[in-house]
């Protein structure tokens, strides 16, 4: 978490540490940071939905067997917990165009 007017100042970065007594705790110490999403995560995207009035996340969770799943989640808070649904994904179904499209 970084205030937008301090985006270039590393000292302004605050890391989510924990939830204590129902309130989030943030720290300037990187070693205090805790993940809001567990797993072998990549391609993460997060946003606020004014329609749903919730935070939405999507990300790939890469499995040890080489498979991947797309996970979609929502939460009242940006630090979670996220109610997550899973969509199996196979990279064999992803293809690139063979010719240039202009």
pLDDT at 96: 47
Look at residues 46, 19, 22, 18 and name the one whose alpha carbon lies nearest to residue 33: 18
pTM, 2 dp: 0.69
Instruction: Determine the pLDDT at residue 2.
Output: 81
**For residue 11, what pLDDT is reported?**
85
Residue 76 forms beta bridges with which residues?
none
* Bridge partner residues of 20 (DSSP): 23
pLDDT computed for residue 84 by the predictor: 87
Over the chain (102 residues), the average pLDDT of each successive run of 10 is 83 91 93 90 91 93 79 91 79 52 50
Please give the pLDDT value at position 34: 93
> Kindly report the CA angle at 37 between 35 and 39, in degrees rounded to 5?
100
Give the per-residue pLDDT at 90: 61
């Amino acid at each position: 978490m970084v205030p937008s007017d301090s985006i270039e100042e590393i000292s302004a970065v605050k890391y989510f540490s924990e939830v204590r007594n129902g309130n989030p705790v943030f720290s300037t110490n990187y070693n205090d940071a805790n993940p809001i999403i567990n797993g072998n995560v990549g391609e993460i995207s997060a946003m606020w939905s004014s329609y749903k009035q919730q935070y939405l996340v999507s990300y790939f969770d890469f499995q040890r067997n080489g498979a991947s799943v797309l996970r979609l989640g929502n939460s009242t808070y940006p630090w979670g917990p996220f109610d997550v649904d899973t969509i199996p994904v196979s990279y064999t179904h992803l293809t690139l165009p063979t010719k240039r499209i202009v």
